Amino acid sequence: DIVLTQAPLSVSVTPGESASISCRSSKSLLSSKGITSLYWYLQKPGKSPQLLIYRMSNLASGVPDRFSGSGSETDFTLKISKVETEDVGVYYCAQFLEYPLTFGSGTKLEIK
């Protein structure tokens, strides 16, 4: 199984500042079709997860452009610029390259 390791476990950010979350994969997520199958989700308190970024760097519909995704074949970063109070929650990365689909263990973002 592909293991996704997220860091840090939690991050505390002042509103207006930026935050970065790392996700490292135990295997390259670059497919033979040239697609990097890494996804990012945010689960706000008491809510279902919501898709933020698909295929490593594509912003999902309706997601503010304060969110961005980048990376290589195995190392990925979610960046949130100008963090707002509504960004609190747990961020998960996930891989869709192969079964079983796997998620990272999550990074909790809190507001200072």
Site for another protein in 49-68 (CB under 8 A): 49-51, 54-55, 60-61
Distance CA 4, CA 92 (A): 10
For residue 92, state whether it binds another protein (rule: CB under 8 A).
Answer: yes
Rounded least distance, CB 38 to another protein, Å = 10
Rounded least distance, CB 82 to another protein, Å = 25
For residue 101, state whether it binds another protein (rule: CB under 8 A).
Answer: yes
The amino acid sitting at 27 is K
For residue 79, state whether it binds another protein (rule: CB under 8 A).
Answer: no
* Strands of the sheet with 75-80, listed across from one edge: 4-7, 19-25, 75-80, 67-71
Within 8 A by CB and 6+ apart from 33, the residues are: none
Find the binder of another protein among 33, 48, 65, 112 (CB under 8 A).
48
Residue 57 region by backbone torsions, left for phi larger than 0, else alpha for psi between -120 and 50, else beta: alpha
For residue 45, state whether it binds another protein (rule: CB under 8 A).
Answer: no
- Near another protein by CB under 8 A, which window of 8-16, 28-36, 78-86, 96-104? 96-104
Q: Choose between 16 and 47: whose C-beta lies nearer to another protein.
A: 47
Using alpha carbons, select from 80, 59, 81, 57 the residue that is nearest to residue 69: 57
